[in-house]
Structure 1
Amino acid sequence: MTTYSADTLTLVADIGGTNTRVALAKGAQILPETVQRFRNATYDGLGAVLREYLTAQGNLDCGGACVAVAGPVHDGRATLTNLDWTIDRDTLINATKAEKVSILNDLQAQGHALGHLDEANLCCILKGQPAGEHAAKLVIGVGTGFNAAPVYNTETGRYVPPAEAGHTNLPICSDADLRLSRFVKAEHGFAAVEDVLSGRGITHIYSWLSCEAGARRDLTSTEIMDALARRSDPIAVETGRVFTRMLGTVAGNLALNTLPFGGVYLVGGVSQAITPYLEEFGFGAAFHDKGRFGPFMEQFAVSVVEDDYAALTGCAGHLHSVAL
């Protein structure tokens, strides 16, 4: 075990519904050899996870602690949607003894990671126009759920306000979109963006398309993506097409709301899984399809973040910027 000097490192954690990843960081950079994964069901709260981690690190005295939480954060307090944990500043202070602590929504952490990621982990989907250092950016998360957050780089620091964009209404641009929306609403009571653009959203699209074809079938998202990759199921292929077009439409809408001249960044496991099909299935056409504002949309670059530690890096970057 490496010995570290007191207060030279910070502790960062990415807390999901199933697992928590914890690491140490020096400045805005994660120390990869310190990353550990913990299964949440084994622990009664985050404090127990962090105390076990720090004990294994020789009771390290951290200069700060920041965690990213898969759920809403309000007034410095977070409650996970699919886990009976409540996380607040006292939790972090008691577990880490750090004087400087922060709690971020996981997508906020992804926003704070921008600028600290290796360019090799950014896959360019659409090219845009050059922009200044203070240009706004936009992070869109597509995974278990859906969310988006603008990233504002100002002279006084970086600001990433929280949002719950996945629970807005699904956009309807065609008769087919209307039928999909009605199907989702009938099944789940409300047709939200997250009900189509997420892991479970892929299954909803497939079920709807199979109904349209005359015989409903329900597959898991993994089964659908495997069939898409093999091109063994026409409905799976069409599912990828519908998903991609809807993602382009929603991302374009969000871009007009935030004007991210500094780029749009897609994050999350589903974003990475659908990346090989974005060009083929018309993501760019759907993103740019804004009538007379179509040419305007060409200013916004779109990339996929292919770094599984981005949320940890964002926590480190946030703490580092506060210390500057």
Structure 2
Amino acid sequence: MNFYTVSANDFYLAVIKPAFQDIIPEGFPYNGTLNEFTIMDNVGSKKNIINIRRVQNILQRRDASCDYIYKKVFGADTRKITTDELYGATKFCRNEFYQGDLKDWRSSDPLFGDRILPFFQGAVNIDVASNSYFGDIERVASPTAQWSTNVFDGVFKHIEKYITAGIIPAGQTFAIADGTDYSATPTAAYTLLNNMYNAQPVLMGSFVASQLAFYVSKEIYDGYADYLSSIQQTAGNTTILENGKSALTFKGIALLVEPIWTPVITELKGSKGYAAVLTVRGNFVFATDKDYGEGEDGKTALEVWYERKESQWYYRMFLKAGTEIALPEYVIVALSDWN
């Protein structure tokens, strides 16, 4: 039996962390904005997120005494970020794979086992991406679902929670109407972004444009691009990001496309839907535990082996994952209704 393992820390460094740094393996189909997440890599089961807020109005008039009134320079409160224990397991049989037109390849593909591992890695990262945004552990997934959306709670689940609690005020939320077509009416994309920009709370004005971002469905991005073209102002609304990619801007704030948003929302909704979020960059938090694993030593995160008596390759991995929003009050969101 051929067998090899990868430790929990090595798995984190080789698989999970690169996905969030947007270092995409060759042939990997996902290329989104996971690199915008802040990673907490030492969350065993739960950990505090400490919100430190500067307190203003500390300047006072001096009077004819030696008495001083001391005020706090900051206030703090805590929330919990939690992780769920997850696993992935699959197996492949060479004889089942090489059927039909693929039979002629069987003898000329001695590295079959090595070729499967990148597909397994890619599948794991796609599931991490879809759940990081759309995960809801209370969701009952359709048997025909193409996207994983119920293994840990994602950013939009937390946004919904904070809207219900009033932490994200109603004035910072917008509904995207059914049937909206940004390609047919690109002005609608501009109007949406403008409404979101104007809905920023006053304290967001202390951030410069480079510290903020619009995260949007591709159709909203394309609609805004078409709008700028129609008024011949595209050149003045483009910037170059740190990774060398170009992006449109709205009043200096970058628009970053999340390509999986529309297909996932469309599957959940049953018809086409979109999303857009304006917030502080790095505001989305992904939690994991780089030391978590199972196996004989309790520290193995990835196991791959070939079982000779069954003529099959086996792949098994373990990780912890969870999300939160560091500053939910600095979120402006526009959503189609997919619940």
Normalized per residue, which structure has more strand? 2
TM-score, scaled relative to structure 2: 0.31
Q: Max radius of gyration: which structure?
A: 2
Normalized per residue, which structure has more helix? 1
TM-score, scaled relative to structure 1: 0.32
Higher relative contact order (CA 8 A, sep 6+): 2
